[in-house]
Amino acid sequence: MGLVSLDVELGDRGYPILIGDGLIGQPEQWLPHFSDGVVVVVTNDTIAPLYLDTVRSALGGRLRCEIILADGEQHKTLDTVARIYDSLISHRCDRKTTLLALGGGVVGDMTGFAAATYQRGVHFVQMPTTLLAQVDSSVGGKTGVNHPQGKNMIGAFYQPRCVIADIGTLGTLPDREYAAGIAEVIKYGLIADAPFDRWLTENMPRLMTREPTAMVEAVRRSCANKAAVVAEDEREGGRRAILNLGHTFGHAIETATAYTQYLHGEAVAIGMLMAADLSSRLGWISVAEVTRIRALLQSAGLPVTAPTGFSTAQFMDLMSADKKVLHGQLRLVLLREVGEAIVTAATPTATLEALLDDWLMST
């Protein structure tokens, strides 16, 4: 299977996304995209035993040090980023250093944030090893950490030099984490690419058996959709917010459960179905479409019911901490139709509360 390459078009800050099977072991494909200087690998204790030796061999004498963090969303904090700073300073890393994020979205977000802020900015490269990171968090330059009162509340927009998506790493993912990544893949069809949505409906069995050609196509189409949106609106001043379909609901779910009960993609899957339900209640998509979206999520092994243990008022309060809130108004990403998402602050409060009442009472 050959190398697939596409570009994020951001002028002099643009960069390639490389997609293929076995890329980590093919440094001739990706090392030319690194700047001069030493490299620091940031990874976690789950990924390090799997891929760190291969990366270490590829980098050779350019490797300055390795930083191995604890795995899990609960560790995506300023305290953990401080560990990265401590290591960079103790190893006398200068502004020519490149940070290589080897891992999933948590590693990528924290490494990017450290790169954005260490000595006011050093280069970094994304080497995502989960499906969710390959199709979403590694592309677009969003970096940051969580705060106890809200997800990703502290961060920066900071683009990588390159994204290296080796689908071979997806073979080691547990089924649950793989399914969580499929949630973000499904998102792209719903928000901007109706033909991709149809492709997913037809090819989900191939994706769930991790057929390499199907995985490459899913990653390619997802990255192409995200790259197009990011190129149009890098800093989420407008259209880029559609990439957050389901995320306002999903982030509230994650925060309420202290990032321990649901993987990010699982919470987003529930949130996307809630957003679809709300879109139907507003008369934009049919009940039949909501049913179809539910079935598509279920075919990927994703949850489709909200968690128990908190009320509509509590949920509304958590949603009010969302980064898309402007001037006190909650803005939601909803579906005008499959393949067309919008960002709106015009959702009637009574309609939203009725939705939450139904979802939270039905669990």
Catalytic hit among 66, 73, 177, 236: 236
Told to judge if 251 belongs to the known catalytic residues of this protein, a careful annotator would answer: yes
Told to judge if 75 belongs to the known catalytic residues of this protein, a careful annotator would answer: no
Distance CA 200, CA 272 (A): 16
Q: Which is nearest to 157 in space by CA: 136, 146, 142?
A: 142
Q: Which is nearest to 101 in space by CA: 110, 92, 93, 91?
A: 110
Q: Is the dihedral of CA 293, 298, 300, 303 positive or negative?
A: positive
Catalytic hit among 66, 177, 184, 217: 184
* Type of residue found at 247: H
Contact 334, 284 (CB under 8 A): yes
Catalytic hit among 83, 123, 142, 151: 142
Catalytic hit among 76, 187, 221, 251: 251
Q: Which is nearest to 105 in space by CA: 184, 220, 175, 38?
A: 184
Catalytic hit among 244, 266, 294, 324: 244
Task: Return the structure tokens found at 245.
Answer: 């379909």
Told to judge if 226 belongs to the known catalytic residues of this protein, a careful annotator would answer: yes
Catalytic hit among 64, 161, 221, 264: 264
Catalytic hit among 123, 151, 247, 294: 247
- How many angstroms separate the Cα of 184 from the Cα of each of 22, 223, 225, 245? 23, 11, 12, 9
Distance CA 271, CA 294 (A): 11
Told to judge if 240 belongs to the known catalytic residues of this protein, a careful annotator would answer: yes
- How many angstroms separate the Cα of 246 from the Cα of each of 240, 272, 342? 14, 4, 12
Distance CA 199, CA 204 (A): 8
Distance CA 339, CA 112 (A): 30
Which residue intervals of the chain are DSSP H helices? Answer: 27-30, 48-59, 78-90, 105-117, 131-132, 175-192, 194-208, 212-232, 247-256, 264-281, 287-299, 312-319, 349-361
Residue 63's DSSP bridge partners are: 39
First to last CA, the chain: 45
Catalytic hit among 76, 151, 240, 323: 240
Distance CA 300, CA 188 (A): 15
Told to judge if 327 belongs to the known catalytic residues of this protein, a careful annotator would answer: no
- What is the CA 305 to chain-centroid distance, rounded? 21
Told to judge if 247 belongs to the known catalytic residues of this protein, a careful annotator would answer: yes
Determine the 3-state secondary structure of 145 from DSSP.
Answer: strand
Catalytic hit among 28, 92, 120, 327: 120
Which of the residues are catalytic? 120, 142, 184, 226, 236, 240, 244, 247, 251, 264
